[in-house]
Amino acid sequence: MPQSAASVVKTNVYTSLDPVPRGKEFQVAVVVNIASGYHMNSHKPNDSYLIPTTLTPQLPAGITLVDTIYPAGKNLTFPFSPDKPLNVYTQSVTLRVKLTAGDAAALGDTSIPVTLRYQACNNSACLPPVKVPVNAAIKVAAADAKAKPMHPEIFAASSAK
Amino acid sequence: MSNVRCAWVLCAAALLVSGAVTACRSSSAKASNSAAGFQPEPDVTFKNLEGADVSLSSLKGKVVLVNFWATWCDPCRSEIPALIGLQDKFESKGFTMLGASMDEDGVKAVDPFIHTTQFNVGGHQRTMDYPIVLGTDAITDKFGGLLGMPTSYLISRDGKIVKKYIGVVDEQQVIKDVESQL
């Protein structure tokens, strides 16, 4: 019996700098852990009718989007599609948004809401598409503030790819 | 009561009980055919792609397979040839498919899909030419909730849900199940 769509995935959110100086580029990573036995369409599924995974930030004033980086999916076959592989995410994947805190970004604590949209299936049935809100908390500082790189295990590894 | 009479009473009671059990067992096969004891179909009305109402109750007298599906659902697509086959095989005997799409975009997504997407049915390219309606969460709630798609419900002529299928239907099994209701 399938789980509910929202319960198939657990997310953790990380930011790459603390604080984020104005004028500096930084990243928000959403690590998506997918329940065993389930997969979700990648950002670039093999068929246009399939619902892709997307990550969409709702940007506060002064924060601009530079890029959204999706991992490559894996081509896998399933009992319902034995001859046609699907490009999917399984287990754990990391999605990232590259952002810049502009000169007009408000100083202090800021929240960046991000929406993860995905559509998951197991080997025999599909769950409806779902939008999961996640939140990235950052602290914006003056342009000359010293920023500490955070979570190198996520951001250094992602940069190396 | 004397011991002998007591024994006779006990024996008679035992016979009655065993007779009742036997009767129950012999009627259980009939129960599945007559759908006695099964949940009645929910009181739901769908909209078809032209916007007209299609109530489940209006199909009473027919055996119905209500199939919840979506255009973006690959397992759903994989069973469509089997469902087209069911309609071909059993429509004249009083059966109908009812494909209830759960696409968020409704008619905009479903109408072009059913008219253009081809499925291989016994070596022939066919479109989804059985009745298609639009499902809603309110409707699936009345069926007990929908966790995944495809999910199908086999409904007897007298409006009882006799079987639920979660995931892709086994074609041979669903043929047997439909036949048992006709």
Q: What pLDDT is recorded for position B20?
A: 37
Q: How far is CA B41 from the centre of its chain?
A: 9
Q: Are B116 and B128 in contact (CB under 8 A)?
A: no
Task: Measure the CA–CA gap between B164 and B11, rounded to whole angstroms.
Answer: 43
SS3 A149: strand
Point out the residue among B70, B78, B113 whose CB comes nearest to the CB of A80. B78
Cβ–Cβ of A50/B72 closer than 8 Å?
A: yes
**HSE-CB of B20 using CA atoms within 13 angstroms:** 6
Q: Residue by residue, what is the 3-state secondary structure of B91-126?
A: HHHCEEEEEEECCCCCHHHHHHHHHHCCEEECCEEE
- At residue B17 the predicted structure's pLDDT band, cuts being 50, 70 and 90, is very low
Tens digits of residue pLDDT in B147-170: 899 999 999 999 999 999 999 999
Instruction: Please state, in angstroms and rounded to a whole number, the distance separating the CA atoms of residues B177 and B90.
Output: 12
**Tens digits of per-residue pLDDT, B25-48?**
333 322 233 344 688 888 999 999
A104 vs B1, higher pLDDT: A104
Q: How many CA atoms lie less than 13 Å away from B21 in the CB half-sphere?
A: 6
Residues forming beta bridges with residue A133, ordered by sequence position: A115
**Which two tokens mark B140?**
């699936």
pLDDT value of residue A159: 52
Query: pLDDT per residue over B73-131, tens digit each?
Result: 999 999 999 999 999 999 999 999 999 999 999 999 999 999 999 999 999 999 999 99
Mean pLDDT calculated for residue range A133-152: 96
Q: How many angstroms separate the most distant Cα atoms in chain A?
A: 57
The pLDDT of residue B61 is 96
User: Tell me, which fold does domain B45-181 have in CATH?
Assistant: Glutaredoxin (3.40.30)
pLDDT-based confidence at residue A3 (cuts at 50, 70, 90): low
Contact: B148, A50; criterion CB under 8 Å: no
Residue in B67, B68, B69, B73 to test binding to A, most A beta-carbons within 10 Å:
B73
Q: How far is CA B182 from the centre of its chain?
A: 12
Q: What is the pLDDT of residue A50?
A: 96
Q: Which CATH class is domain A5-146?
A: mainly beta
Domain residue extents for chain B? 1-34, 45-181
Chain B CB contacts of A124 below 8 Å: 75, 166-168
Instruction: Band the pLDDT of B7: cuts 50, 70, 90.
Output: very low
Cβ separation of A127 and B150 shorter than 8 Å? no
CB contact at 8 A, B57 and B182: no
**Closest C-alpha among B104, B160, B96 to residue B137:** B104
Give SS3 for A24.
coil
- Tally Cβ neighbours within 10 Å of residue A42: 23
Residue B167 has its nearest CB partner, among A81, A124, A129, at A124
Distance in angstroms between the alpha carbons of the first and the last residue of chain A: 37
pLDDT band with cut points at 50, 70 and 90 for residue A6: confident
d(CA B19, CA B24) in angstroms, rounded, equals 9
Name the residue among B104, B113, B167 with its Cβ closest to that of A125: B167
What does the pLDDT look like over A64-106, one tens digit per residue? 999 999 999 999 999 999 999 999 999 999 999 999 999 999 9
Whole-Å CA distances, A48 to A43, A45, B44: 11, 7, 33
* pTM across the whole model: 0.83
Helix and strand counts by DSSP (H, E) for chain A: 1, 14
Of A2, A49, A51, the CB nearest to B147: A2
CA distances B177 to B63, B77, B91, B181, Å, are 10, 21, 15, 7
Quick check: A82 contacting B, CB < 8 Å?
Answer: no
* Tokens 């599924």, residue located: A45
Q: Does residue B11 register a pLDDT over 80?
A: no
The average pLDDT across B4-23 equals 42
Average pLDDT in the A128-153 region? 96
> What is residue B147's predicted lDDT score, i.e. its pLDDT?
83
